[in-house]
Structure 1
Amino acid sequence: MERGSGGNDVELLCKTLQFEHKLFYFDLKENPRGRYLKISEKTSATRSTIIVPVGGIVWFVDLFNYYVNTDECDAFSKELKLDTKVFYFDVGENRRGRFLKVSEASVSRNRSTIIVPAGSSGEEGWTAFRNILHEINEEASRLYIVSNQQHMEPSEHLPGLSDDVGAGFISGHTSQPVSGSDLNVDSLVELHPQDEIGSLRMSKVIRADQKRFFFDLGSNNRGHYLRISEVSGSDRSSIILPLSGLKHFHDTIGHFVEITKDRLGGIPAVNVRTLEPVQR
Structure 2
Amino acid sequence: MSDIGSGDEGISSQKYHGQSMDAGGNNFDSGQQPQEQELATKMLQIQSKRFYLDVKQNRRGRFIKVAEIGADGRRSQIFLAMSTAAEFRDHLSSFSDFYSSLGPPNPDNVPDDGKLKSEMMLKDNRRYYLDLKENSRGRFLRVSQTITRGGPRSQVALPAQGMIEFRDALTDLLDDFGTDDGGFKGELPEGRHLRVDNKNFYFDIGQNNRGIYMKVSEMALGPQVKSNFRTAITVPEKCWTRFRDILADYCDKMCRAHQPSDSHQGGAGPAGAAGAAPITPNIDTFAGSAANRI
Please tell me the TM-score bracket, short chain as reference.
0.3 to 0.5
TM-score, normalised by the number of residues in structure 2: 0.46
TM-score (structure 1 length as normaliser): 0.48
Query: Highest CA radius of gyration, 1 or 2?
Result: 2
